[in-house]
Amino acid sequence: MAENKGAANKNQAYAISDIAGTRRLYAGWADTYDADTTEGMGYVAHEVVADLAAEFLDKGVPVLDLACGTGMLGTELRQRGFSTIDGLDLSPEMLAKAEALGVYRKLGELDMTQAYDIEDASVAALTCCGIFGPSVIGPEHLVHLAPPMKSGARAVISINGKGYEERPFEDALEALFDDGLFREIYRGFNDYLPKEDIDALYVVLERF
């Protein structure tokens, strides 16, 4: 059977290891990304992260949605009572889709492979869904989450199960705890791309 377009793009994303290639991939995927991932592959990470955010994050503070993409998580957060949501992403084309939804207060470009260009200790709550995994954002980039977060601020992140198996995410998480940057509030495996038989580790971190 022919591979659907979403699965082909997903496999390309897993194979890409550079920023220019990632930008090109998402520039060409933005128009059909939502349907390709949800209908095509059963993507549910944005719903799982939103449920965890509703349980573990403060709805009364602005939430920064990192790698917000087309904004599917922003929509889910809004439906669960979060009123102020900002978004950052590498791809201008994905950000344009998020902008059109009207659920984000501010949107901008950011490359998660570099130290974030965000004021230290300024972020009160954070979500990051669908980006830590087998492709360009790996375990070595988890540490970038720490500097912008306020003491006591919480982050809900997903780690694609394929990436979790193949790369030392567990060691990187342990290093965050050992170095006194975060403590773990929650962890659990749940569905991610069920039609592709891929699950994810979902983690809630709290900044020291």
Ligand X SMILES: C[S@@+](CC[C@H](N)C(=O)[O-])C[C@H]1O[C@@H](n2cnc3c(N)ncnc32)[C@H](O)[C@@H]1O
Q: Minimum distance from CB of 178 to ligand X (Å)?
A: 25
C-alpha dihedral over 166, 13, 138, 168, to 10 degrees?
0
The binder of ligand X chosen from 50, 64, 72, 155 (CB under 6 A): 72
Taking the least distance from each CB to ligand X, the nearer of 147 and 208 is 147
Per-residue b/e over 72-111, b at no fewer than 16 CB within 10 Å?
bbbbbbbeeebebbbbbbbbebbbebbeeeebbeebeebb
Q: Does 22 bind ligand X (CB under 6 A)?
A: yes
User: Restricting to residues 167-196, which ones interact with ligand X according to CB under 6 A?
Assistant: none
Q: Minimum distance from CB of 189 to ligand X (Å)?
A: 17
Q: Does 68 bind ligand X (CB under 6 A)?
A: yes
The binder of ligand X chosen from 48, 90, 149, 193 (CB under 6 A): 90
The binder of ligand X chosen from 6, 40, 69, 163 (CB under 6 A): 69
**Residue ranges of the alpha helices (H) in 33-139?**
33-35, 41, 45-56, 72-79, 92-101
Q: Minimum distance from CB of 24 to ligand X (Å)?
A: 11
DSSP string, 169-200: HHHHHHHHHHTTSEEEEEEEEEEEEGGGTEEE
The span of 123-131, 143-151, 165-173, 179-187 binding ligand X (CB under 6 A) equals 123-131
Beta carbons of 159 and 133 less than 8 angstroms apart? yes
Contacts to ligand X by CB under 6 A: 19, 22, 26, 45-46, 67-69, 72-73, 89-91, 94, 110-113, 129-131, 136-137
